[in-house]
Amino acid sequence: MGKEPVAVVGIGQTKHVAARRDVSIAGLVREAAQRALEDAELTWADIDAVVIGKAPDFFEGVMMPELYLADALGAVGKPMLRVHTAGSVGGSTALVATNLIAGRVHGTVLTLAYEKQSESNAMWGLSLPIPFQQPLLAGAGGFFAPHVRAYMRRTGAPDTVGSLVAYKDRRNALKNPYAHLHEHDITLEKVQASPMLWDPIRYSETCPSSDGACAMVLTDRAGAARSPRPPAWLHGGAMRSEPTLFAGKDFVSPQAGKDCAADVYRQAGIADPRRDIDAVEMYVPFSWYEPMWLENLGFAEEGEGWKLTESGVTELDGDLPVNMSGGVLSTNPIGASGMIRFAEAALQVRGQAGEHQVDGARRVLGHAYGGGSQFFSMWLVGAAPPAS
Amino acid sequence: MPAPRPLRDIAVVAFAQTDHRRTSDELSEVEMLMPVLHRVLAQTGLKTSDIGFTCSGSTDYLAGRAFSFTMALDGVGAWPPISESHVEMDGAWALYEAWTKLLTGDADTALVYAYGKSSPGSVRDVLTRQLDPYYVAPLWPDSVALAALQAQALIDAGDTDEPALAAVATRSRTSATGNSHAQLRGSVPQGDYAVRPLRTGDCPPIGDGAAAVILAAGERARELCERPAWIRGIDHRIEAHGLGVRDLTDSPSTRLAAERAGLFERPVDTAELHAPFSSQEVVLRKALRLDGSVDVNPSGGALAANPIMAAGLIRIGEAADRIRRGDSDRALAHATSGPCLQQNLVAVLEGEPR
Measured in whole angstroms, the distance separating CA B247 from the mean position of its chain's CA atoms is 23
Contact B144, B124 (CB under 8 A): yes
Which residues, at least 6 apart from A137, have a Cβ–Cβ distance to it below 8 Å?
Answer: A143
pLDDT in tens, A205-253: 999 999 999 999 999 999 999 999 999 999 999 999 999 888 899 999 9
Strand pairing category for A7-13 and A211-219: antiparallel
pLDDT in tens, B233-284: 999 999 999 999 999 999 999 999 999 999 999 999 999 999 999 999 999 9
Portion 5-34 of A in contact with B at CB < 8 A? 24-25
pLDDT band of A83, cuts 50, 70, 90: very high
The predicted structure's pLDDT at residue A105: 97
Q: Is the pLDDT of residue B112 over 60?
A: yes
Which residues of chain A make contact with B87, given a CB cutoff of 8 A? 81-84
Q: Is the pLDDT of residue A130 over 90?
A: no
* Helical spans, DSSP H, in B276-310: 278-288
pLDDT band of B92, cuts 50, 70, 90: very high
Share of chain A above pLDDT 90, in %: 91
ipTM of the complex: 0.97
The predicted structure's pLDDT at residue A131: 59
pLDDT in tens, B146-167: 999 999 999 999 999 999 999 9
As a 3-state breakdown, chain B gives helix, strand, coil percent values, each rounded to 5, of 40, 20, 40
Mean pLDDT of B59-68: 90
Calpha distance A244→B342 (Å, rounded): 35
- Asked if A242 lies within 8 A of B81 by C-beta distance, the reply is yes
Portion 264-303 of A in contact with B at CB < 8 A? none
| Count of residues in chain B | 354
The predicted structure's pLDDT at residue A133: 59
Contact B118, B62 (CB under 8 A): yes
- Asked if A77 lies within 8 A of B241 by C-beta distance, the reply is no
Query: Residue A242 is nearest to which of B78, B93, B237, comparing CB atoms?
Result: B78
The predicted structure's pLDDT at residue A387: 86
The predicted structure's pLDDT at residue B243: 95
Burial class (CB in 10 A: 0-12, 13-18, 19+), B137: middle
The predicted structure's pLDDT at residue B354: 81
Counted across chains A and B, CB pairs separated by less than 8 A come out at 194
Q: What is the pTM of this model?
A: 0.97
- From first CA to last CA, the distance across chain A in angstroms is 11
The predicted structure's pLDDT at residue A23: 98
pLDDT in tens, B171-185: 999 999 999 999 999
The predicted structure's pLDDT at residue A41: 98
Write down the mean pLDDT value for chain A: 95
Please give the DSSP secondary-structure letter assigned to residue A109. Answer: E
The predicted structure's pLDDT at residue A317: 97
Mean pLDDT of A297-309: 98
Which residues, at least 6 apart from B7, have a Cβ–Cβ distance to it below 8 Å?
Answer: A1, A103, A104, B103
Q: Give the distance from residue A111's alpha carbon to the nearest chain B alpha carbon, in angstroms.
A: 14
pLDDT band of A142, cuts 50, 70, 90: confident
Q: Give the distance from residue B72's alpha carbon to the nearest chain A alpha carbon, in angstroms.
A: 9
Q: Which of B62, B65, B88 to mutate to test the interface with A (most CBs of A within 10 A)?
A: B88
B89 touches chain A (CB under 8 A): yes
Mean pLDDT of B311-327: 98
Q: Decide which of A320 and B6 is more confident.
A: A320
Measured in whole angstroms, the distance separating CA B109 from the mean position of its chain's CA atoms is 21
pLDDT in tens, A1-14: 689 999 999 999 99
The predicted structure's pLDDT at residue B7: 72
Contact A47, A217 (CB under 8 A): yes
Q: Give the distance from residue B236's alpha carbon to the nearest chain A alpha carbon, in angstroms.
A: 5
Residue B16: helix, strand or coil by DSSP? strand
Calpha distance B102→B6 (Å, rounded): 11
Portion 148-207 of B in contact with A at CB < 8 A? none
The predicted structure's pLDDT at residue A1: 63
Portion 75-94 of A in contact with B at CB < 8 A? 75-86, 92
The predicted structure's pLDDT at residue B148: 98
Which residues of chain B make contact with A261, given a CB cutoff of 8 A? none
Strand pairing category for B84-87 and B53-57: parallel
Q: Is the pLDDT of residue A388 over 70?
A: no
- Asked if B237 lies within 8 A of A77 by C-beta distance, the reply is yes
Q: Decide which of A179 and A247 is more confident.
A: A179
Query: Residue B100 is nearest to which of A55, A82, A103, comparing CB atoms?
Result: A103
Q: Is the pLDDT of residue A135 over 90?
A: no
Q: Is the pLDDT of residue A137 over 80?
A: no
B348 touches chain A (CB under 8 A): no
Bridge-partner residues for A8, per DSSP?
A218, A232
Mean pLDDT of B44-70: 94
Residue B236 has φ and ψ, to the nearest 5°, of -145, 150
